Chains A and B, each alone.
Chain A
Amino acid sequence: MKIKFALAQINPVLGDIEKNRKKHLEFIEKAMEENANVIVFPELSLTGYRLKDLAMEVALPPQSDFFNPILKKSKMIDVAMGFVERGNDNNVYNSAMYIENGKIKSVYRKIYPPTHGMFEELRFMGRGKKVTTFKTRYGNFSILICRDLFHPSLLFLAYAQNAEVVLGMSNMPLRGVEGKKPAIEETVEKAVDTYTSFFSQFIVFVNRAGFEDGMGFYGGSFIGTPMGKKLGFAGILKEKLTFATVDTEEIYRKRQLFPLSREEDLNIIKENLDAILEANNERV
């Protein structure tokens, strides 16, 4: 299956969901003109990142009419976007949803919201518990959000459910200016290279651009492929829309050349995890 992705490396306005919805619609339009199949926005693309007390003010339930104009557009193009979710449990979450053919296909809640140094997410939002894979018209997809991508265990859970494409939606600020590239970019590329190589998945990494309170989100969006290619690189720091077409046949080829997935035994992992958990619980 060939899939043409649009990587929407946008710079949302902090806390202004009206302006940001307009920006989503504009980028969706542009992606449709290029006949893209799926457009992927960054984490919290509807709201901006450093919300703090604004989180509860911009939170929306996924069923909100506010999303209707975007749902309408999704007849022709699938849309993955980030927002602050007001959950049925009256908590708010850093979430992302996948919209296909006028309907919400899946909502994912970030599992590891970082809370240290400049990151304060758990102070204002809850955390998700589940990595899921959902079947789209283009294959099995999973969503992971930003810090989640630095936990290989979550990539493994997507792989274990046969995710062919992982959408890595991010708001990563730049740090580390000693080298040729920002240190954070090196870290992400290393991680994506490793995951795509051993899990034979595509990772569509979309990171935002722009500044909030001095934090500068570095952009650098790209697609990593199972054969180690890097497609659709959007460059750093600036708002950009790039396109890249992937062929999921590459997963089949890679998995025949390097049949790790055939060797995988989830029962072994489960037995080991159970034993580890039991031992850890005893220790406490």
Chain B
Amino acid sequence: MSENDANKPQGRKPTLPPGAAKPTLPPGAGKKPTLPPGAGKAPTLPPGMKKPGGPAMPPGMPPAGPGGDGAPSRADFASDQDVRWCPGCGDYAILATVQRLMPELGVPRENVVFISGIGCSSRFPYYMNTYGMHSIHGRAPTIATGIKTSRPDLDVWMITGDGDSLSIGGNHIIHIMRRNVDLQIIMFNNQIYGLTKGQYSPTSEVGKITKSTPFGSIDHPFNPIALVLGADASFAARTMDRDPKHMKEILRQAHDFNGTGFVEVYQNCNIFNDGAFFSFTEKATKSDKAIFFEHGQPLVYADGKKGLRLNGFHLEAIDLEGGNWGVDDCLVYDETSLELATILARVYWHDELPQPFGVFYRQARPTYDEQVGRQVQAVIERSGKGSLADLLAEGDTWVVG
């Protein structure tokens, strides 16, 4: 019996395969979407930015439309609005990844809704040719909860940043997690306030010198994955802007998960916090400083040269080449274990251990929207559809005249 098994609580439900519990597609699924309004206007891009959907087209040409098989393409999900992030911003990679993923999900464009708060990341909905709302600072979870609960047929995505969701919106992020509303949250974490021009954020490291902390910040930072696990998240994952392949896969899994799919994306702010995550994202250090883990696989990194083993409640790095340790000694990750998720989430900016990227925790439980709907149905089944006339005349009444 490995230490992993010893820590694993008995009676856990097996992992759901991605998409298993997802409701069937709403009516109209697979219908060929019409072209976006204003399609044909060539968006201008900041210098150095690649146009989403491939090479720039001559003005007047519609963007790359549905493919030969009639399926929607990436360009179908790009709005006609100019993308206004700073050149070189990590947000571009996230937008491009989401636009690439969308056609693969098979959800009709008209059923997709993006809800955001305030901040650089929260401009995102303007660039998606879906339904969307750019709301107010910190409150996207409330609006997303309202729309998903009243319209469970819609595919709702929430876009937020570290300041938006962990500072001004801290209350709402924990409550959407505990409710487990069936939607996806993409949290762009750049560890800085960008739109207000460079103050430290609730994820900035202690000692951060910014405009508002000329002598260094003294606030202890949040660990977002640990925070949402503490709020009983049912799906928590981390990925990075510089690995679009990994990001796309994680986002797909968050989407296919039936519940709140929380994804923290490390996103470089090249203006106010350039290189914050370079040790995890850049070639020279990535293999040593980052570990990409998967359910059912041993925790191995550094191109197979190193691994992580569980020693009591702690993870320790082991050298797989020295002859003392082998892959069999590494912890085989189990994403349904809240205990393991908690241990792995606490490997955070660790001096000796690599930063983990992947799905920390996935445990399906009934979603809020589904339960609300079920309760309404149960009342209707028990009491019948309410009659207004009966309701108005309820209780003690008397007749005059």
**A, B co-complexed:** no
- Give the interface of A toward B (CB within 8 A): none
